[in-house]
Amino acid sequence: MRNHEPAFPPGVDPFSPQDPPSTRRVAIHPSILAADFAHLAREIRDVEPHVDGLHLDVMDGVFVPNISFGPVVVEAVRHVTTLPLHCHLMIVDPVRYLRAFRDAGADLIIVHLEAIDEPARALLAVRECGARVGVTLNPGTPLERVEPVLGLVDELLIMSVDPGFGGQRFQPSSLERVRAASALREGRGRFLIAVDGGIGPDNAAAVVAAGADILVAGTAVFRAKDRKRAIEALRGGAFLGET
């Protein structure tokens, strides 16, 4: 397994969106949903030296219409990389499966606000199982609903498409949600803002300017012929004031 570059260099505070463009660095987390699962280990090793983490979309065919994979695949990914694994649970009753995904190797577990009856209790359960805590909500769910639990999370994931399928177009209205999330962060704890859905070099700069710290990109990375160049294009477009 190869060593990977830290998501944020020493001396750079990832929680400071006001940092100047020359010092601020966005993290790139490819979604393996767009990878070739017949050669998944090779796919991961191909992008590993150039990214900061991996995003694993877990779908059950109930909470969302698609079905992807479960803890067995997460464990397989864990065996081939030291990259941080962010597991996005698009499933009903996610608390029931927290321990299974943590034991499989998830470093951060993201649950949907719409899938949990008692958000604070569910997020505390993520912490108690030893994982870092993420929360997300569908594009149609008012952002205000997540405000009461923001002090409990390490990452707020803004969905810029409707969850369930990869390869969708970025919804421009998501930029305002990212700006609103960045505003909510002020005085409410230190959490990162990730954006997932339709991310590419054409919108990376705008998303980061709105306040994002992590870009989740599947198709833009794994469907590219030259993954390194595709990641560099994302990274370059994400620097404020650069193209």
For the chain, domain boundaries = 27-238
pLDDT reported for residue 116: 95
Q: Please pick, among 52, 60, 154, 196, the residue that the annotation labels catalytic.
A: 196
Catalytic status, residue 57: yes
Give the whole-angstrom CA distance, residue 184 versus residue 166.
28
What is the rounded distance in angstroms from the CA atom of residue 141 to the CA atom of residue 154? 20
Q: Tokens 């990389």 correspond to what residue?
A: 81
How far, in whole angstroms, is CA 129 from its chain's centroid? 19
67 DSSP assignment: B
Q: How confident is the model at residue 2 (pLDDT cuts 50, 70, 90)?
A: very low
Q: Which fold has domain 27-238?
A: TIM Barrel (3.20.20)
* 75: enclosing H helix or E strand: helix 71-80
Please tell me the distance from the alpha carbon of residue 173 to that of residue 92, in angstroms, as a whole number: 27
Q: In what order do the strands lie in the sheet with 132-137?
A: 27-30, 214-217, 192-196, 155-159, 132-137, 108-112, 85-90, 54-59
Contact (Cβ atoms closer than 8 angstroms) between residue 25 and residue 58: no
Residue type, 182: S
pLDDT at residue 243, as a whole number? 33
Per-residue pLDDT, averaged over 138-151, amounts to 94
pLDDT of residue 162: 84
In a 3-state reduction of DSSP, which class is residue 106? coil
**According to the model, what pLDDT value does residue 235 have?**
87
pTM of the model: 0.87
**Digit-coded pLDDT (tens) for 4-38:** 333 443 333 344 434 433 345 799 999 999 999 99
Query: What pLDDT score does 197 carry?
Result: 87
Per residue in 191-221, pLDDT (tens digit) is 999 999 889 999 999 999 999 999 999 999 9
Q: Give the integer Cα–Cα distance in Å for 54 and 222.
A: 12
Q: pLDDT grade, residue 177 (50/70/90)?
A: very high
Look up 46 and say whether it is catalytic: no
Q: What is the mean pLDDT of the chain?
A: 87
- What is the rounded distance in angstroms from the CA atom of residue 210 to the CA atom of residue 22? 17
How is residue 81 written in tokens? 């990389």
pLDDT cut 70: percent of the chain above it:
84
pLDDT of 39 > 50? The answer is yes
Which DSSP string do the residues of 19-59 spell out, in sequence order? S-TTT---EEEEBGGGS-GGGHHHHHHHHGGG-S-EEEEEE
Q: Which of 57, 60, 154, 213 is catalytic?
A: 57
More confident residue, 24 or 163: 163
